[in-house]
Amino acid sequence: MRTSKKWLDAQSEHKTTLRALPSCLTLCDLKHDGYHQLVAAEFPMEIQGKSKLKAYKGTTLISEQSLPGIPTAVESFYVDEHFPKIPVIAVAIGSSVLFYRNMKPYYKYTLPSLPINPIENDVWQKLPNEKPENYELHINQLRRLNIGELSEASQKLVFAPPDDIQQFVKDIESKDLKRFTNITATATIRKSSTDTNGVSYLILATESGDVIFLDCQAFTVTHEARVCAFKTTPSLISVSGHFDVDYRIVIGTREGSICILRKSWLEGRQIIKLDNPTIGLSILPIEQTIIVVCMNKTLDCFSKKGKQLWSVGLNEPATCMVHIILTHISMTLICVAMRGGLVQLYLQKHLVDQFTVADTVSAMAFGKLGQEDHVLILVTNDGSFIVKILKRTAEFKVDSNYNHLNDGTGNSSSKLQIPKKSKVFLEQTIRECDNASAIYHNFQTELWRLRLTAARTTIDTINSAESTISGDVGSAPIKLAAEVLGLGPVFRIVLTLENMAARRDAPHINVLLHADDQHYCLEKPYASLPTLVPGSPIKIDFKITTLLDPNDGLPPSDLTPENAIVRVMLLKSGHAKPLIAATIAMPMTEPLENDIY
Amino acid sequence: MSNLRIHEINIHMFEDNAGMETDYQTCLMLSNNSFHKGPWELKMRSMTNRVYVDDIEADDGIVDNDPFDTNQLATAARVGTSLRTATSVDSKQGVPGSRPRTSTGRPLTGMARPGTISQRPGSSMKSRTSLGTGSRSGSAKNIRLGSASMFVLGDPTGSLFQSSQLNPTRFVEKDSVSKQLFQFLYYHEGDIKKALDLCEAIIEHKKKGLSLMWWYAQRGRCYLALGKPRDAEPHLKISVVQLPHPDTALLLSRVYVKIDQPLAALKVISDCLEKLPNDVSLLTQQGRIFELMNNLQASARMYRHIAQLEPINTEALSCIAVHHFYGNQPEMALIYYRRILSMGAHSCELYCNLGLCCLYGGQLDLVLPCFQRALRLAITSEQRADVWYNVSFVALTSGDFNLAKRCLRLCISSDGSHGAALNNLAVLAMKSGHRDKAQSYFAAAKNVLADSDEVKHNQNLFEKRD
């Protein structure tokens, strides 16, 4: 259970009955009293249950009303400049949006009907006048059409049991034929004011792939665009900019593409095609980069043109994401909640903070709550409702401790430097193409020869024991490293012996040093070692003195760098053959001169 | 009369570079008359020539982060003016982004000169023998680099003289011998203090004159060898003003590199280049300084220029090749390495590089023959470790993980603290599901390369999979 010192645990309510999706939380100043509240649209736990729109003051429920369907998204925004400024709550359900003011319903907007297929129209015109025996003929005509493009009435007719058809047709005939699409995502965009409570338009993305900008004062559509040239279903939407000035809308679709829609475009453009479904999407207002969290445990960042800037691997699959704008330290952080309750905050690709909560977070919102400016609200799967306040003193620094853990996939986006291929390279490639089989056979033959050489050398090394690592046949392999300290004539040889075996001990090991007694004097050439256990190297040191000529204070004349060696033998009690018989090259003795310049 | 003839033969032999034979002849002469000046001089020259190493080439570069280095001027230098801050500006350079870095973040150079090899990334040169770490003054290396005591050369007459008992003032007048004596002291005996005494005595005695410029340069050289670049600077400046000799300019630029003033070093070189246009040794030094300053583009440009002037310059060719290789053009690198090969260089490293170029350039039939040769030519354990490490990439590319593991194990058996190999072994163990094994390899890799991002990253990834 990690906690972070940057956050205050203000309030938390365990096992309350708030169950919400990320798009169904919104924070607003509900009564214009400077005390921000949380409004959440809750989806029912069982199919028969009712959805509810709830308003919370802190963690106490202050208002609750039933909703006529399962909510898709909730938005709060201002529609006019009148004083006192009371926000409007918009709840998208199915194909309509319910507007609330002061938590009282005051308008219902329904999306315009989609065009009806002419064949379908034709069928419905004929049906009321037909004999019941001929119904089947017409219904078959409807069945030939794509079920998704039929109106609701036709869909029901197609699947209706034969006995009910007559009654059904009678019910329908008096009504107009209408086809509605569902709202899949919503967002708001401010008209022109940079003020947080400026007038905003509501953006509705529909299942049919349309994006509708709705002026909620007159309830007129101010702009309408397609998500993309081909049929896609938007699922996530993120907005940056102002309607009157310039804006960019990033739309994530169920098919995995990310589209961008700019001012006065009638059709968005696909900029990214992802292989995995998206969980969170956000275009950062300052950096103007697109952050995407995918189901394959990655957090990616793209430029506005769709170029991948970086990618970070996550430890667990993400459940939701929210971006945190901290104007007082001019930072934009990305907060990602993961399965198991881990919540991580990223600054660019660097992990800057993390904490865990008791259960997997299902929805998050960041903004003003109560009188605090920087509050993170977390709703977990089991219905807990946690409020965390960011400390005013909190700073987010890139900490190297966190980051090396994340480098695994982080470098994937770094630019590869590919030099121009020279003419020589092309010539060599041609040679390779021409003699492919000869080259291959030659290489294979030589590779076998190399294997033989390597094996032979290995055998030689084992037999001669002239190695710094002993063979691991029958006993634990021991690695020897030697270091010579000192300027001379007195040196100290430090031997480091390490047991490289996985778990086997190496008992009864002795060390013997051997040097030419005309050149060197070894004080204590032999040492018996304690049992070597894997993972803890033993250091042992020996004093060795170069014998100096008493006349001129120089080393003996026949001591050359070639024969200035000391032999180290590692012996195992009861074995005649040494495990290791390595040589150490001794450095030359520095001249002993007192009056050196 | 006969003596003179032998002498002539000797000079003849000497010019044919048959040092050994000359030695023998002069020894004969000296054993006859030990005060004979001609043979004595000749012997000194021949002995010097036998061990002569162009110590300007033996450039250490710079020792990074040496707490005992009091020579550097600014402790917090502005970006672009210091070699120590050069490692941080590279990100803008962009193109050779994948060039491996040394343990201190410097880009790897294309050619191993004495002093540059100890900084290879991923290898353990540093930790195993702690050569090249800051705590060593490096004076022993400087002194021993060219001195005869490094090579056990049999000397039939014993040593020529006891250099410690030599009185420099005796030679100030003898112009014909003094230079030879200096070189003998400096290069053969490695007695830099005595050589410096000789310089000072001669400069003191002569005061003025054009011939002194050589002595000033040598004085600077001695100071530099003693690790006192700031003392060397004024002498070299005097010398370079008198005569802009490339050697002097190179020494002076080396002084500036040592005191971390790369811009001043470049200035010295470009001033000298105005007088001696297209001098390859100066251009090379410029290329090296650019490389140290992390300006790889400029460095590559300089090396290209050198290769045009001198198409057989191995350093230029190999640096261009490295530039191409890490600029993702292995086929171009291959051309340059092949040119080096056709010039007669047959070394383990060259074949290894050829193999890698073939591998990444897609010339698969040539990859393994190159590596086979590299393996055959690998003598030292570092070479063996490096070749096996690179062979493991061939195995990985061909998908044979078992072979790759075997190669890496062979690499480790040659060099127990090859961090990159340990890291790769850990990754392979992780891939094949041996978690415990991977764990211990990671721990070992971390021991060797404590601040490698790669190991850290892999380990984090490994632990995250729990």
Same domain, A511 and A566: yes
**Residues in chain B closer than 8 A to A430 (CB atoms):** none
Q: Within a domain: residue B156? A: no
The label of the residue with tokens 């390597």 reads A454
pLDDT number for residue B102:
57
Are A554 and B415 within 8 A, CB to CB?
no
Task: Choose among A111, A108, A69: nearest CA to A208.
Answer: A111
pLDDT number for residue A304:
86
Please identify, among A154, A173, A192, the residue that sits at the C-terminal boundary of a domain.
A173
Burial of B235 (0-12, 13-18, 19+ CB in 10 A): buried
pLDDT number for residue A597:
38
Grouping H, G, I as helix, E, B as strand and the rest as coil, residue A534 is: strand
Q: Which of residues 337-376 of A touch B (CB under 8 A)?
A: none
B331 near A CB under 8 A: yes
Nearest to A461 among B143, B413, B440 (CB): B413
Q: Best of B123, B191, B331 to disrupt the A interface by mutation (most A CBs within 10 Å)?
A: B331
Q: Within a domain: residue A222? A: no
pLDDT above 70 for B12: no
Low-confidence ranges of chain A (pLDDT < 50): 404-413, 594-597
pLDDT number for residue B71:
60
Q: Within a domain: residue B117? A: yes
Buried b (16+ CB within 10 A) or exposed e, A153-189: bbeebeebeeeebeebbeebeeeebebbbebbbbbbb
pLDDT number for residue B196:
87
Sheet of A278-283: strand order equals: A278-283, A290-294, A298-302, A308-313
Q: Within a domain: residue A243? A: no
Under the banding of pLDDT at 50, 70 and 90, the label for residue B373 is very high
Domain that holds residue A9: 1-16+299-416
pLDDT above 90 for B260: no
Render pLDDT for B286-338 as a digit per residue (tens, 0 to 9).
Answer: 888 888 888 888 899 999 999 999 888 888 998 999 888 888 888 889 999 99
Q: Within a domain: residue A318? A: yes
Task: Choose among A9, A27, A22, A6: nearest CA to A373.
Answer: A27
Q: Within a domain: residue B217? A: no
A546 near B CB under 8 A: no
Question: In percent, how much of chain B has pLDDT > 70?
Answer: 67
Nearest to A597 among B226, B413, B436 (CB): B226
A128 near B CB under 8 A: no
A589 near B CB under 8 A: yes
**Residues in chain A closer than 8 A to B363 (CB atoms):** 428, 431-432
Render pLDDT for B379-410 as a digit per residue (tens, 0 to 9).
Answer: 888 889 999 999 999 999 888 999 999 999 89
Render pLDDT for B195-230 as a digit per residue (tens, 0 to 9).
Answer: 888 888 888 887 766 678 888 888 888 888 887 888
Same domain, A310 and A411: yes
Q: Within a domain: residue B431? A: no
pLDDT number for residue A409:
43
Nearest to A560 among B127, B150, B372 (CB): B150
B232 near A CB under 8 A: no
pLDDT number for residue B148:
43
| Enclosing H/E stretch for A436 | helix A436-464
Per-residue CA distances from B350 to B101, B111, B220 (Å): 20, 10, 36
pTM attached to this predicted model: 0.56
What's the structural domain count of chain B?
Answer: 1
pLDDT number for residue A174:
64
CATH for B289: 1.25.40.10
pLDDT number for residue B407:
93
Same domain, A387 and A494: no
**Residues in chain B closer than 8 A to A432 (CB atoms):** 362-364
Q: Could you tell me if residue A254 is left (phi over 0), alpha (psi between -120 and 50 degrees) or otherwise beta?
A: alpha
**Main-chain dihedrals φ then ψ at residue A357, nearest 5 degrees:** -120, 170
Identity at A487, one-letter amino acid code: L
Same domain, A393 and A439: no
Which ipTM score applies to this complex?
A: 0.73
pLDDT number for residue B59:
55
Same domain, A454 and A505: no
pLDDT above 70 for B118: no
* DSSP annotation string for A285-333: TTT--EEEEETTTEEEEE-TTS-EEEEEE-SS-EEEEEEEEEGGGTEEE
Tell me the C-alpha distance between A414 and A416, whole Å.
Answer: 6
Domain that holds residue B339: 82-87+101-136+278-345
**Residues in chain A closer than 8 A to B136 (CB atoms):** 487, 587, 590
Q: Which of residues 131-190 of B touch A (CB under 8 A)?
A: 131, 135-137, 139-141, 143-144, 149-152, 164
Q: Within a domain: residue A469? A: no
**Residues in chain B closer than 8 A to A407 (CB atoms):** 457
Task: Choose among B224, B227, B230, B204: nearest CA to B215.
Answer: B204
Nearest to B460 among A404, A588, A596 (CB): A404
Same domain, A431 and A348: no
Are B371 and A450 within 8 A, CB to CB?
yes
Chain A residue whose CA is closest to B224: A597
Grouping H, G, I as helix, E, B as strand and the rest as coil, residue A509 is: strand
Grouping H, G, I as helix, E, B as strand and the rest as coil, residue A37 is: strand
pLDDT number for residue B53:
67
Under the banding of pLDDT at 50, 70 and 90, the label for residue B75 is low
Question: What's the whole-number mean pLDDT along residues B435-446?
Answer: 82
pLDDT number for residue A402:
55
What's the structural domain count of chain A?
Answer: 4
Same domain, A393 and A427: no
Tell me the C-alpha distance between B26 and B40, whole Å.
Answer: 7
Render pLDDT for B448-462 as a digit per residue (tens, 0 to 9).
Answer: 777 778 888 888 888
Nearest to A450 among B131, B143, B391 (CB): B391
pLDDT number for residue A455:
93
Same domain, A485 and A540: yes
Q: Within a domain: residue B383? A: no
Q: Which residues pair with A241 in a beta bridge?
A: A247
Under the banding of pLDDT at 50, 70 and 90, the label for residue B56 is low
Identity at A588, one-letter amino acid code: M
A419 near B CB under 8 A: yes
Do you find a cis peptide bond into A489, omega within 30 degrees of 0? yes
Contact between A482 and B128 (Cβ < 8 Å): yes
Q: Within a domain: residue A245? A: no
Distance from the A567 Cα atom to the nearest Cα atom in chain B, whole angstroms: 14
Q: Greater confidence, B374 or B177?
A: B374
Q: Within a domain: residue B286? A: yes
CATH for A574: 2.60.40.10
Nearest to A422 among B331, B406, B412 (CB): B331
Q: Within a domain: residue A255? A: no
Are B461 and A597 within 8 A, CB to CB?
no
**Residues in chain A closer than 8 A to B436 (CB atoms):** 502-503, 534
Q: Best of A402, A416, A453, A546 to disrupt the B interface by mutation (most B CBs within 10 Å)?
A: A453
